[in-house]
Structure 1
Amino acid sequence: MQTTRGLDRLVFFTDAVTAIAITLLVLPLVDSVTQAAHDGLSAEQFIGNNYAAISGFALSFVVIARLWLAHHSTFEHVRSYSSPLLLLNLFWAFTVVVLPLPTEMVSQFRTSPLSVGVYIGTMAASSLTLTAMTLLIRKHPRLEMEENPMPGREVFSNAVSTIGFFIALIVGVLVPAVNFYALLIILLTVPLQRVYDRRSAAARLAPAAQSS
């Protein structure tokens, strides 16, 4: 039998995993600072030598934070959980924990279709899993809060983000000159979300306009 306490533990566990993953992102840079100081390098030299690693850390932090915010928003509509939801959540946590590994690969190895594929592919898998959880919650009233149901906007946002990640994955791998810059495709989800919001608002106002 699923309980509220069980759901709370699931959410707390996921939050802790996300916090640890974000922390792991910066640890290689901390070690690099120690080594740079030991080698007598200046702060400017350290930043110049580790520009790729610093950029990778910043990008991965933003991505993990964005994924966590989406996860947090999704579980605001959850009142219970099921075995499929539990398994999907564990896999989502796995993708978040794995992300520091390709982040380090990106900073240490020469850019290649493989490193790009692993890096963006991990993000795409995480986003896809989150979308699957959103759809699962929306389709099962037992999981969804009656007083705070899963809105269509939430489903649309997660689905569009997932599509964006997979397009970025394909472009980044198949067009080596683009590589990690393919992630900028995700920015296109912002205007798409605004179009969806405007159409939803218009749809809500239409019945009122007709009745008047």
Structure 2
Amino acid sequence: MAAVDHVLPFPTEMVGEFGQDRFTGTLYYANVVASMVCSTVMVQILRRNPELLSSGADEFDAFLVAGLANVCALVVAFVIALLVPHLQYYSLLVLVLVSPVLRFLRARGLIRV
């Protein structure tokens, strides 16, 4: 995870330097998706090993569901950016929908956390 986070400034600087270049956008999105996947895996590891925590692992269920939802939304945004290059970083606005969708699913009883 640290490696992914330490690499993020590089594609971010490339975005500022090269603007709407397709490779730059792809590298940026891939780095953000990799970072989110690593964070979600870390939460899963902590959830499965509660002895590593000072408190119980029950509270990590919500973090895991949110992490998975964010990974899915980032992948959708990445695909949109690849298919519609003019949208590029505006496709990240898909992430705004994660919280309302999770609330809707909880209200319908489709997810417990």
In structure 2, distance between residues paired with 1:196 and 1:139: 24
* 8 Å contact from structure 1 (residues 105, 115) kept in 2: yes
| 2:56 is equivalent to residue 108 of structure 1 | no
What is the aligned-residue RMSD (CA, Å)? 2.2
* 8 Å contact from structure 1 (residues 144, 150) kept in 2: no
In structure 1, distance between residues paired with 2:57 and 2:50: 11
TM-score (norm 1): 0.47
CA distance 1:109–1:147, change in 2 (3 Å): closer
Partner of 2:97: 188
More deviation in 181-190 or 105-114?
105-114
Residue type matched to 2:3 in 1?
F
Per-residue CA distance 1:116-146 (angstroms, 9 max, x = gap)? 1111111110000111111112122333445
CA distance 1:95–1:150, change in 2 (3 Å): same
| 2:76 is equivalent to residue 167 of structure 1 | yes
In structure 1, distance between residues paired with 2:87 and 2:97: 16
Shift of 1:159: 0.7
Partner of 1:134: 43
Q: Pairwise mapping of residues 34-53 of structure 1 onto structure 2 (< 5 A)?
A: none
Shift of 1:196: 4.3
TM-score (norm 2): 0.82
In structure 2, distance between residues paired with 1:103 and 1:160: 24
Per-residue CA distance 1:44-86 (angstroms, 9 max, x = gap)? xxxxxxxxxxxxxxxxxxxxxxxxxxxxxxxxxxxxxxxxxxx
In structure 1, distance between residues paired with 2:57 and 2:30: 32
* 8 Å contact from structure 1 (residues 161, 186) kept in 2: yes
In structure 1, distance between residues paired with 2:108 and 2:65: 13
In structure 2, distance between residues paired with 1:130 and 1:144: 16
Shift of 1:113: 2.1
* 8 Å contact from structure 2 (residues 36, 67) kept in 1: yes
SS at 1:149 equivalent: coil
In structure 2, distance between residues paired with 1:195 and 1:144: 30
In structure 2, stretches of 5+ residues that fail to align are none
**Which aligned runs of 4 or more in structure 1 are off by greater than 6 angstroms?**
none
Shift of 1:110: 3.9
| 2:4 is equivalent to residue 95 of structure 1 | yes
